[in-house]
Structure 1
């Protein structure tokens, strides 16, 4: 009889704990969930990386290697964007740039069909925008690199002015 009472008590305790609501999410955590933040970040990174994969393919890398590289890149992006530290920092960024009221408004928008469509389209839009911008970037890059070299050269100390290496014990 004692065993029955103990088991009944144990089962009742488990039912009560299972019925307890999960910890309430902050408005920013809720926003990131509605936005499918990690998924969107992975998809966006993959879309941007596709340009690199296209260059590799054009350089003669076999399709099997491209597929393997794509798989490795996705696994890396998932590791990066699903980590708790990045999630914490992302929450801090949203809370730095938006008021609590704005975060609630964004959450409400992203719950709508248009909000969900916006989120779904964003990786493709960003990838397409990069493709459109890439020719202009490539055209400007040599002049930009020369300017950067000139700027760095202006501030670079001559080799003879380099500080002496510390001696042992200093």
Structure 2
């Protein structure tokens, strides 16, 4: 009797484990539909314009028009092609269906429209906060004597100026 109970229990466990469906990976087509709904190509164009401005300032001898072509149509397609597997690893087919539903909704479209502005404002605030935080921490280190007034590490207390070695005439 125990033997049969053990066999039945093993079958139930095996059936239960085998019956658990592995979450389906989204197809490339689904992921590309998501990219389209999210206006990913337009986001890349915006990134390209911002990058062109930065590069124009960093390398003023190169015309800004040169950098405008950094992410052209071919580049956009290449970049999206490389991003598809990332989305396939992190989202299930069911997730992508839900994301498509959300991003097609009015709220989803508002998120897409407002996200570049909120991210830009957030980055600006983050940079400002980071600058203020770094200044406060440097000031604290100066007060403790870890850093000198110019923000550099002072010479260690036991360090002395090295004595020059006299040259010998061999």
Bigger helix fraction: 1
Q: Which has the higher contact order (CA 8 A, sep 6+)?
A: 1
Q: Which structure's CA Rg is the greater one?
A: 2
Q: TM-score, normalised by structure 1?
A: 0.50
Q: TM-score, normalised by structure 2?
A: 0.50
